[in-house]
């Protein structure tokens, strides 16, 4: 069990905790080693002295040692804790940030409401999501990624947003620090968008909130696990359980959601590469050698991604505990991770097929140019021979009929033309 939330989470019978993990792409490729993990940790400790590093541990009775030998831990920090007023209700906002060596960063928000039985939970959640999305919009506007149909989103233009929700500032600062300290290499493509989910947690004794969250409509769609303690749907999860079980569930949920987001990054990276190939083909800027190298890079990327995706759903690799395996399987089904893995494979297949088609197109275009060049060379050769005629006659045109050179020229030209025609006809066959 990964212990990372116990120090910052408390739950009494009248309170509710809303967990809101939000993933972003840092856009860096890191060397996957403990040295990298330590370098990132040291950099954060020096650059953000107010952040507190949280310890991460694994339950030895649940995890296979062989899996842990190949798996690198995340860097996790408690960033801030504030009390804000939302619709007249006091809400404690706690923020942890975790960074993985695959280049993703997760903002793990917790919204804690102590006297939750008499508040409009849905209204408060909508207001909190408003803060997140307005801050997110400003971040996208700064990077030039707020575009197309996004501009039609109905978001409050002048909402005052507390600095604890400014994920973009932390991301931009971290990227500058990583680049300045030569930790990792900036990728050619950065997925600029976020992905998050909402999880609601309350005690068994909190009947009012429990009944509010577990509507008949939600229960009819949700998957029930742990004897009614957890209800999972795709975008909403309700946890009504003791701390220890919810800790295990949250750790597994965040890990599987991180895998979902990684697939999301790969899908949009494929889309980006497809568009890049198309744009260059339209402008006729591609060269065959460049396409061949790009095809090799795509194949290498696919092998690397495929090796990771295989382990996302094979639960016998990480776990030697049925409860962990069953719970992970339920989470995978709820968030539709397997469908996302399938879409990732489809995008890679489309990308590989597309670049191979582009190579054939370039090869065909090159072949046409080669044919034309052959004809011009033949004509040029014939013209060169023909230019010898006047010199051979010594300026006396009366010798034209008796000279052997003109017939030789015409025979040579005919043979060259026949040879070119024969070779091209054979190539077509």
**pLDDT per position as a tens digit, 187-215:** 989 999 999 999 999 988 888 888 889 99
Strands (E), 223-331: 223-225, 230-232, 236-240
Are 86 and 130 contacting, i.e. CB atoms less than 8 angstroms apart? no
Structural domain harbouring 136: 6-357
Both 263 and 288 in a single domain?
Answer: yes
Report the distance separating Cα 352 and Cα 299, nearest Å. Answer: 8
Residues 183 and 219 in one domain: yes
Continuous segment of H or E residues that includes residue 140 = helix 121-143
Same domain, 345 and 400: no
Q: Is residue 1 part of a domain?
A: no
Q: Which residue is listed with tokens 């991301």? A: 171
What percent of the chain is predicted at pLDDT more than 70?
Answer: 79
306 found inside a domain: yes
Q: Is residue 201 part of a domain?
A: yes
Residue 376 has pLDDT above 60, yes or no: no
Residue among 72, 67, 75 nearest 47 (CA): 75
Using the 3D structure, point to which of 340, 357, 374 is the last residue of a domain. Answer: 357
113 and 84 both lie in a single domain: yes
Place 6 in a pLDDT band, splitting at 50, 70 and 90. very low
421 shares a domain with 310:
no
What pLDDT is stored for residue 410 in this prediction? Answer: 59
pLDDT of res. 286: 59
pLDDT digits (tens, 9 = 90+) for 327-346: 999 999 999 999 999 999 99
Torsion of CA 266, 195, 36, 311, to 10 degrees: -60
- 232 and 374 inside one domain: no
In the predicted structure, residue 364 carries a pLDDT above the cut 60: no
Q: How many CB atoms lie within 10 A of CB 136?
A: 23
Q: Which of 316, 334, 357 is the last residue of a domain?
A: 357
Q: What separation in angstroms does the CA of 198 have from each of 101, 130, 230, 293?
A: 24, 14, 13, 42
Is residue 25 a part of any domain in this protein? Answer: yes
Count of domains forming the chain:
2
Residues with Cβ within 8 Å of residue 271, at least 6 apart in sequence: 347
pLDDT in tens, 54-113: 988 899 899 999 999 989 999 999 999 999 999 999 999 999 999 999 999 999 999 999
The overall average pLDDT reported for the chain is 84
Q: What is the pLDDT, as a whole number, of residue 281? A: 73
Both 292 and 395 in a single domain? no
**Percent of the chain whose predicted confidence (pLDDT) is above 90:** 57
Shared domain for 347 and 383, answered yes or no, is no
Neighbour-count burial of 208, counting CB atoms closer than 10 A to its CB (0-12 exposed, 13-18 middle, 19+ buried): middle
pLDDT at 398 over 50: yes
Residue ending a domain, choose from 338, 357, 376:
357
| Domain co-membership, 353 together with 415 | no
| Statement to judge: residues 238 and 132 lie in one domain | yes
What is the rounded CA–CA span in Å between residue 228 and residue 272?
43
Say if residue 113 is in the same domain as residue 230: yes
User: Closest by alpha carbon to 64, among 325, 305, 309?
Assistant: 325
Q: Is residue 386 part of a domain?
A: yes
Q: Which two tokens stand for residue 86?
A: 């939302």
Structure confidence at residue 295 as a pLDDT band (50, 70, 90): confident
| CA separation for the pair 103, 189 (Å, rounded) | 12
Assess if residue 73 is contained within a domain: yes
Residues 195, 127 share a domain: yes
Cα 121 from Cα 346, distance rounded (Å):
40
What is the arithmetic mean of pLDDT over 358-380?
57
How far is residue 299's CA from residue 309's CA, in Å, rounded to a whole number? Answer: 15
């Amino acid at each position: 069990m990964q212990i990372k939330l116990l120090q910052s989470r408390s739950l009494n019978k009248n309170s509710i905790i809303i967990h809101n993990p939000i993933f972003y792409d840092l856009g860096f490729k890191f060397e996957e080693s403990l040295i990298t993990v330590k370098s990132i940790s040291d950099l954060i400790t020096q650059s953000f002295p107010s952040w507190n590093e949280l310890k991460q541990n694994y339950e030895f009775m649940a995890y296979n040692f062989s899996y842990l030998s190949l798996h690198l831990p995340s860097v996790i920090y408690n960033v801030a804790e504030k009390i804000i007023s939302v619709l007249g209700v006091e809400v404690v906002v706690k923020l942890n940030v975790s960074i993985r060596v695959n280049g993703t960063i997760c903002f793990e928000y917790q919204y804690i409401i102590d006297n939750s039985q008499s508040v409009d939970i849905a209204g408060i959640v909508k207001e909190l999501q408003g803060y997140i999305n307005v801050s997110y919009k400003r971040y996208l506007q700064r990077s030039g990624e707020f575009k197309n149909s996004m501009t039609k989103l109905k978001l409050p233009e002048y909402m005052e947003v507390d600095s604890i929700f400014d994920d973009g500032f932390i991301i931009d600062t971290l990227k500058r620090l990583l680049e300045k300290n030569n930790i990792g290499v900036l990728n050619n493509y950065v997925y600029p968008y976020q992905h998050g989910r909402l999880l609601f947690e309350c005690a068994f004794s909190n009947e009012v909130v429990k009944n509010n969250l577990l509507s008949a409509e939600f229960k009819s769609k949700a998957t029930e696990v742990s004897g009614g303690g957890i209800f999972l749907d795709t975008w909403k999860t309700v946890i009504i359980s003791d701390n220890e079980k919810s800790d295990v569930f949250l750790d597994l949920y965040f890990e599987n959601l991180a895998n979902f987001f990684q697939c999301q990054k790969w899908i949009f990276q494929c889309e980006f590469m497809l568009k890049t190939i198309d744009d260059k083909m339209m402008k006729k800027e591609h060269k065959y050698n460049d396409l061949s190298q790009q095809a090799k890079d795509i194949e290498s990327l696919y092998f690397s991604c495929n090796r990771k995706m295989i382990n996302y759903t094979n639960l016998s690799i990480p776990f030697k505990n049925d409860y962990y395996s069953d719970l992970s399987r339920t989470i995978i089904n709820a968030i539709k991770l397997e469908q996302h893995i399938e879409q990732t494979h489809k995008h890679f297949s489309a990308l590989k097929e597309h670049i191979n088609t582009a190579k054939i197109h370039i090869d065909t275009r090159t072949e046409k140019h080669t044919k034309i060049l052959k004809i011009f060379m033949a004509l040029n050769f014939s013209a060169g021979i023909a230019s010898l005629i006047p010199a051979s006659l010594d300026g006396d045109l009366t010798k034209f009929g008796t000279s052997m050179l003109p017939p030789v020229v015409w025979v040579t030209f005919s043979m060259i033309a026949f040879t070119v025609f024969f070779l091209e006809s054979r190539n077509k066959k």
